[in-house]
């Protein structure tokens, strides 16, 4: 168990943040070079700088294909993976903080199932009137609708308890999962697409995806940091936080909606990717303590880094592209079990 | 000059259909130690929630320092009223000092950091409750009693003129209980603060409280100076037990003795 005293923890957080930023930037450049066409880090940087500065001398003598591969194929995917990873981690911080349960994440609230249901519906019914955005849009609507149902089920008299919230999320999630199974059973040729979507993927992402995810995630991170100290105080329980001047019910609702929106956008962009939102805040809390303001920022960096690594492994290292959701579950599942056992034995990291 | 303290005017409150408080009229004055006693489920915690403005009465009004409680902002109230709740679970591994510093939240600007003054106040509060030694331990590693003392220190660090204790010493031994009540009593005597404490132990209440508020089934059964209200008749009416009340020389306070066992 690591011990952190309040005095030296600021330094520790700063160090960790700088390391993570360096690792993230390094990984973006490295990953962009990896793949079927190998491009060196220097060449990647030259292509990117050329686009930013407009100085064509930088790319003189390079294969023009490189520019296309870097800017139009790989970077959108890589950045989307990074941003979605950050978003899922921030969601994890928010949900764990609001629900006072270190094992909470978008799944606990049924939001991911809602998104999956919406996407499956669009795929099954072959809805394409919105072009390529039909499926993400349905996923988004599914996520938001699920959130509203869960909130309705768990609020009584304007009060909302963390336990009923989780319970409502699990129940609604189970109903939706049955619905998804039924749709898979009904679908013939679309079943492969549904399954593919359920397992998550960053293949063929565009700059539009990058932009949508970036807007949602930076917004979410901003809200998380803004209400970070309130969230800290809410870990004392509702009666205490009210008495300390926090408008608990309002802050909880704002953060819950923020987290759900970010989760919905992430899921609608990438399909279902589990465990990032669970593991990353856990690890970071272990390293820097539970202060949610720091936790949100550091988790965003670490989540982006982790998901980018996972996506790079499946895209460029493994001989066959394994769906990213499967990969994160394979890595994250055992980790979850480990944490769960530790908790049960009372060796709570916090 | 506006009236100081609380004035409750015909206050009623219900959870759904279940009436919790009915027609309460009370005046709570500064510079007094109030004991709130009564059987389980008689509405004591609900009354504290109303005084804290955590809940609003269904009918009637509560005034604090001359203004309706609802006119105050959350933050303003948090600078006036502090609460030590019954439930003292802290869900994440904050250090003791971090939790006590949360008591300074009502005074900090949103992006402001904790200053030297805040730290000094927190350390003073920890020292008063005798938890200065484990300032840097994690609250999740503490025993129930230790956690309870941390929460009391947090409320003290809030430096409010009104302190409400909801069974704040339920998990504490006699020594630590007295430590907390002594600190509370000091604040009443020296700074003219108000303490409102829900207490189950009538002898503890008798020793510390200037005034007692007896509650029964959501109503005030009796209230007034301890000397006048702590009587066998009122105890029998409220709790349904036989007792004797005598002045005890050693503690220089009224003490209640009960006839234990069934006949």
Does the structure show a pLDDT above 50 at A169?
Answer: yes
CATH number of domain containing A132: 1.10.3470.10
**Is residue A130 domain-resident?**
yes
B98/A291 CB distance under 8 A: yes
CA atoms within 13 A on the CB side of A347: 9
B93/A285 CB distance under 8 A: yes
Query: Among A316, A319, A336, A212, which residue's Cα sits nearest to residue A270?
Result: A212
State the ipTM, two decimals: 0.88
User: Could you tell me the residue range of the domain that residue A190 belongs to?
Assistant: 81-344
Contacts of residue B97 in chain A, CB cutoff 8 Å? 6
pLDDT digits (tens, 9 = 90+) for A247-280: 988 998 899 889 888 988 888 888 888 889 888 9
Q: How far is A237 from chain B (nearest CA, A)?
A: 7
CB of A11 within 8 Å of a chain B CB? The answer is no
**Is residue A326 domain-resident?**
yes
- Distances A146 to A95, A138, A167, A169, B180 between C-alpha atoms, Å: 16, 12, 13, 8, 47
Nearest Cβ partner of A244 from B92, B94, B105?
A: B105
CB of A229 within 8 Å of a chain B CB? The answer is yes
Residue of chain B with shortest Cα separation from A157? B16
A-B contacts (CB, under 8 Å): 92
With a CB cutoff of 8 Å and minimum separation 6, the contacts of A178 are: none
| Two structure tokens written together for B79 | 């600078």
B94/A232 CB distance under 8 A: yes
Percent of chain A at pLDDT above 90?
A: 35
**CA B14 to chain CA mean position, Å:** 22
**Is residue A63 domain-resident?**
no
Contacts of residue B93 in chain A, CB cutoff 8 Å? 285, 289-290, 348-350
B97/A237 CB distance under 8 A: no
- Distances B185 to B50, B53, B127 between C-alpha atoms, Å: 23, 24, 16
pLDDT digits (tens, 9 = 90+) for B84-112: 998 888 888 899 999 999 999 999 988 87
**Is residue A36 domain-resident?**
no
Contacts of residue A232 in chain B, CB cutoff 8 Å? 94, 102
**Is residue A39 domain-resident?**
no
With a CB cutoff of 8 Å and minimum separation 6, the contacts of B47 are: B21, B24, B36, B215
pLDDT digits (tens, 9 = 90+) for A80-110: 999 999 999 999 999 889 888 776 777 777 8
A350/B140 CB distance under 8 A: yes
| pLDDT-derived band at B220, boundaries 50, 70, 90 | very high
B54/A290 CB distance under 8 A: no
**CA B85 to chain CA mean position, Å:** 8
Which has more confidence, A212 or A130? A212
pLDDT digits (tens, 9 = 90+) for B36-77: 999 998 999 999 999 999 899 999 999 999 999 999 999 999
B98/A235 CB distance under 8 A: no
B74/A242 CB distance under 8 A: yes
Of the residues B93, B98, B110, B133, the best mutation for testing chain A's interface (the one with the most A CB atoms within 10 Å of its CB) is B93
**Is residue A234 domain-resident?**
yes
Question: Could you give the number of structural domains in chain A?
Answer: 1
B74/A348 CB distance under 8 A: no
The helix or strand, by DSSP H or E, that contains position A279, with its residue range, turns out to be helix A276-288
Burial class (CB in 10 A: 0-12, 13-18, 19+), A81: buried
Q: Helix/strand/coil (H, E, C) string of B80-141?
A: CEEEECCCCCCCCCCEHHHHHHHHHHHHCCCCCCCCHHHHHHHHHHHHHHCCHHHCCCEHHH
């Amino acid at each position: 168990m690591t011990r952190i005293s309040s005095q030296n923890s600021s330094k520790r957080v700063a160090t960790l943040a700088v390391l993570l930023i360096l690792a993230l930037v390094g990984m973006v450049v490295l990953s962009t070079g990896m793949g079927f066409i190998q491009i060196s880090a220097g060449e990647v940087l030259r292509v990117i700088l050329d686009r930013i500065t407009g100085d064509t001398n930088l790319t003189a003598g390079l294969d023009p294909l490189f520019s296309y591969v870097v800017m139009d194929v790989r970077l959108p995917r890589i950045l989307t993976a990074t941003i979605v990873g950050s978003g899922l981690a921030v969601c994890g911080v928010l949900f764990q903080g609001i629900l006072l349960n270190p094992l909470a994440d978008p799944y606990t609230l049924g939001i991911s199932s809602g998104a999956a249901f919406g996407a499956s519906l669009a795929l099954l019914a072959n809805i394409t009137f919105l072009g390529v955005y039909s499926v993400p849009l349905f996923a988004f609507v599914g996520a938001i609708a699920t959130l509203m149902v869960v909130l309705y089920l768990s609020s009584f008299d304007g009060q909302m308890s963390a336990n009923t919230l989780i319970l409502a999320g699990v129940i609604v999630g189970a109903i939706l999962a049955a619905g998804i199974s039924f749709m898979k059973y009904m679908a013939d040729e679309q079943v492969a697409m549904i399954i593919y979507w359920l397992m998550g993927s960053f293949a063929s992402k565009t700059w539009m995806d990058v932009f949508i995810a970036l807007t949602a995630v930076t917004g979410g991170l901003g809200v998380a940091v803004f209400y970070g100290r309130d969230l800290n105080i809410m870990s004392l329980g509702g009666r205490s936080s009210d008495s300390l001047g926090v408008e608990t019910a309002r802050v909880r609702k704002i953060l819950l909606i923020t987290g759900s929106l970010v989760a919905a956008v992430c899921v609608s962009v990438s399909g279902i990717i589990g465990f990032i939102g669970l593991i990353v805040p856990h690890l970071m809390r272990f390293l820097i303590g539970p202060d949610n303001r720091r936790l949100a920022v550091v988790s965003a960096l670490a989540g982006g880094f982790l998901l980018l690594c996972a996506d790079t492994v499946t895209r460029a290292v493994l001989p066959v592209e394994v769906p990213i959701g499967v990969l994160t579950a394979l890595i994250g599942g055992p980790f979850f079990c480990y944490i769960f056992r530790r908790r049960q034995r009372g060796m709570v990291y916090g | 000059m506006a009236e100081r303290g609380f004035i409750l005017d015909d206050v009623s409150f219900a959870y759904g259909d279940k009436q919790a408080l009915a027609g309460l009229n009370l005046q709570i004055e500064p510079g007094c130690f109030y004991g709130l006693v009564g059987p389980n489920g008689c509405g004591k915690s609900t009354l504290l929630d109303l005084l804290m403005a955590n809940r609003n009465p269904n009918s009637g009004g509560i005034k604090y320092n001359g203004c309706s409680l609802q006119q105050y902002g959350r933050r303003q109230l948090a600078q006036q009223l502090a609460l030590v709740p019954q439930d003292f679970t802290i869900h994440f591994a904050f250090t003791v000092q971090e939790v006590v510093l949360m008591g300074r939240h009502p005074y900090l600007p949103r992006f402001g950091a904790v200053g030297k003054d805040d730290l000094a106040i927190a350390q003073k509060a920890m020292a008063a409750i005798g938890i200065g030694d484990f300032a840097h331990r994690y609250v999740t590693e503490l025993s129930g009693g230790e956690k309870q003392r941390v929460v009391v220190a947090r409320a003290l660090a809030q430096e409010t003129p009104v302190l409400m204790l909801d069974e704040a010493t339920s998990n504490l031994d006699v020594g630590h209980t007295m430590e907390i009540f002594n600190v509370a009593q000091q604040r009443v005597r020296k700074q003219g603060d108000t303490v409102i404490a829900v207490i189950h132990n009538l002898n503890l209440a008798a020793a510390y409280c200037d005034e007692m508020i007896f509650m029964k089934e959501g109503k005030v059964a009796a209230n007034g100076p301890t000397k006048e209200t702590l009587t066998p008749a009122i105890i029998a009416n409220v709790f349904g037990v036989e007792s004797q009340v005598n002045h005890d020389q050693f503690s220089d306070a009224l003490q209640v003795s009960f006839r234990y066992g069934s006949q």
